[in-house]
Structure 1
Amino acid sequence: MMSKIYTIVGAVALFVLSVSMGSAQEVDPSKQAGSKIQADNYYPRVALDTSMGKIVIELNRNKAPLTVNNFLDYVQRKEYDNTLFHRIIADYIVQGGGYSPEFKQKEVKGPVLNESGNGLKNNYYSVAMARQDNPHSATRQFFFNMNDNENLDPGRSWGYTVFATVVEGTEVLDAMSQVETEYRPLIRFQDVPKEPIILKTATILPPL
């Protein structure tokens, strides 16, 4: 019914994707970029200051260590600042993190191993990684679930890795999810907000 979302396990997970070989190989997550950011905090929080208001998300490093480390590294390097929420489907998803306001694709690091089997579900106000058809292709784009999207959970095939939940600003997301959208033929993007919605800054908050 809905098109697949493009690009958005415990702490003992020891894998990362090898792009050149197309397979996974063992690696210590503590050596990942981002692993030293609040290293002893399993639930770091990130504030997202958007053009429609502020959202705060709580990450779950216990369940999705590889994904959380990757996300924190992008945040610390200010890679999410001044990016678009470029894809919105009412009562389904709000997606962003990958494009400048001019729809230029932002630089990406290597992909992260799919951690969708971590027990976290694509429930209302959860945050997950976007990806292509390859289950291990998530890089930097993420999305907010604006419904209980069971179709994005793992089953006979890989799902979409949930790594965080919204703890403040659900009313901002509710407003975002209902904006008017359109098709942009020049860039062949579906479901683009008519009025740009900008992620102005993403900031790691002090531990509670």
Structure 2
Amino acid sequence: MARIKPQTLLQQSKKKKGPTRISLTTIILCNLMVVLIVLSLVATYRHWYQRGRHGEESGFTNFEDSNGSVDLKKFEKFDLPSFAILNTSKGLITVELYKEASPEIVDSFLDLCQKGHFKGLLFHRVIKNYVIQAGDFQRLGEAEDWTLKAKPHGQFANSLKHEAFMLGTSKVKHDGKGFELFITTAPIPDLNDKLTVFGRVIKGEDVVQEIEEVDTDEHYRPKSPIGITNISLKHQP
């Protein structure tokens, strides 16, 4: 039997132990798969994050009807929103609602928010160091009388004082269209007979003050339109 030379055995051993080469195509495919997996995970995370954030901000994610609107009747056994964010042309104003102190007014306010009543509503009267008022300019009535005369002539007694940055509405009969919004900009002597307070500003006092500083005509009407873009409701500020 022929003997294999040691040198031949060494060469055969090297051939068997040599590493298997991975083709460039395989490397590229593997890298592409990793990139696709990472992108898929990122997209999934963003989707659920945005969905959760939207639900938190609106407070109504699980209560929308087929038209995308919110039915407040479904909240009868749940807590109604406690905060409203007024998105104005000057910035955001966050208001805490007094649900227990003024339940009927708050319910009416929430219902009108749901119906989009306040979208595009203008601040039609701005009286510095007194109040800013939003509502239907064509339906002023009694509210026009006391807002224009109360401050210059001091007609009210000093039995009760409203603080600055309080949200209220006129005690004039409400029929939906006539719902007026008032935000006081200073402590005001006894408006209890004229104004029902149903909330207070907790964020955006600077926005209220910016609106208060706009130029007005002799009837306290802003010379440039300032309005409410929309109002969103939340359970948390």
CA drift of 1:97 comes to 3.0
Return the alpha-carbon distance in structure 1 between the equivalents of residues 171 and 126 of structure 2.
Answer: 16
Match of 2:164 in 1: 124
Residue 147, structure 1, aligned to residue 182, structure 2: no
1:122 and 1:128 in contact (8 A); partners too? no
Return the alpha-carbon distance in structure 1 between the equivalents of residues 185 and 106 of structure 2.
Answer: 21
TM (normalized to structure 1)? 0.62
Return the alpha-carbon distance in structure 2 between the equivalents of residues 192 and 39 of structure 1.
Answer: 43
Q: Which structure's residues are more often helix, by fraction? A: 2
Match of 2:230 in 1: 201
Return the alpha-carbon distance in structure 1 between the equivalents of residues 103 and 134 of structure 2.
Answer: 21
Give 3-state SS (helix, strand or coil) of 2:162's partner: coil
The residue identity in structure 2 corresponding to 1:203 is S
Q: Which 4+ runs in 1 deviate beyond 3 A?
A: 33-43, 136-139
Give 3-state SS (helix, strand or coil) of 2:95's partner: strand
Match of 1:17 in 2: none
CA drift of 1:98 comes to 2.5
Residue 191, structure 1, aligned to residue 220, structure 2: yes
Residue 173, structure 1, aligned to residue 208, structure 2: yes
State how 1:6-17 maps to structure 2 within 5 Å: none
Residue 67, structure 1, aligned to residue 105, structure 2: yes
Give 3-state SS (helix, strand or coil) of 1:147's partner: coil
2:171 and 2:196 in contact (8 A); partners too? no
TM (normalized to structure 2)? 0.55
The residue identity in structure 2 corresponding to 1:171 is D
Return the alpha-carbon distance in structure 2 between the equivalents of residues 151 and 140 of structure 1.
Answer: 21
Taking a change above 3 Å as real, the CA distance of residues 196 and 39 of structure 1, as seen in their structure-2 partners, is: farther
1:58 and 1:166 in contact (8 A); partners too? yes
CA drift of 1:151 comes to 2.8
CA drift of 1:150 comes to 1.9
Taking a change above 3 Å as real, the CA distance of residues 71 and 37 of structure 1, as seen in their structure-2 partners, is: farther
Return the alpha-carbon distance in structure 1 between the equivalents of residues 75 and 208 of structure 2.
Answer: 27
Report percent identity of matched pairs: 26
Match of 1:87 in 2: 125
Give 3-state SS (helix, strand or coil) of 1:204's partner: strand
Return the alpha-carbon distance in structure 2 between the equivalents of residues 197 and 70 of structure 1.
Answer: 24
The residue identity in structure 1 corresponding to 2:201 is V
Give 3-state SS (helix, strand or coil) of 2:217's partner: strand
Structure 1: runs of 5 or more not aligned? 1-32, 106-119, 184-189
Taking a change above 3 Å as real, the CA distance of residues 69 and 34 of structure 1, as seen in their structure-2 partners, is: farther
Q: Give the aligned length.
A: 146
Taking a change above 3 Å as real, the CA distance of residues 131 and 182 of structure 1, as seen in their structure-2 partners, is: farther
1:43 and 1:60 in contact (8 A); partners too? no
